[in-house]
Amino acid sequence: MKVLVLIADGSEEIEVLTPVDYLRRANLDVTLCSVSPSRTVTCSHGVSVNTDMTLDSFLSAGGALPDAIVVPGGMPGTTNIAASDATLKLIGEMYKDKKLVCAICAAPALVLSKCNLLAGHKWTCYPGMQSQAGKESEAGYQEGISFVHDGTLITGRGPGAAEEFSMEIVKTLCGNESYEKIKKGSCQR
């Protein structure tokens, strides 16, 4: 299975690297993809990350859609990702094809709402950001929950929920056996 994890200047490090780590531990084909023209991205707390490729390179290679996409939060990373028309189009195509769409922190409210994916679903995001998703989407907001899995959408609350959010993606894509093996092997609570 193939998973695309997006990143942009200002993305939250924990929300980018935790899914990459756990999904690779599950032996998934994970591509860390920069939405900006450069493969090197500076995250919200000054950590530089060298990505596998840029989104332009990924899209120009053609091929099938990945099985899942992960959109981290962090500021201004989330607004940088939300400003990418190519990203929004890709997320919309994935949702339409019933692929797994995952977003955490500000990304559900600022990115998934721009793709019109939240209305009619239960979801969560960083506290206070839910009002940015619009009235139609706000009705499904679940407060105080680490992650919400509704259909092909998995949303997470914020940096402190990155582990649980990522492990829900692992469980969904790989099943309980892989989930339990990684949980035990990484000494999770």
CA nearest to 6, candidates 81, 60, 57, 76:
81
Catalytic amino acids?
105
DSSP secondary structure letter of residue 10: T
Which segments of the chain are extended strands (E)?
2-7, 29-34, 40-42, 48-50, 53-54, 68-71, 100-104, 147-150, 153-156
Q: How far apart are CA 158 and CA 50, in angstroms?
A: 23
Sign of the C-alpha dihedral computed for residues 46, 41, 52 and 18 taken in this order:
positive
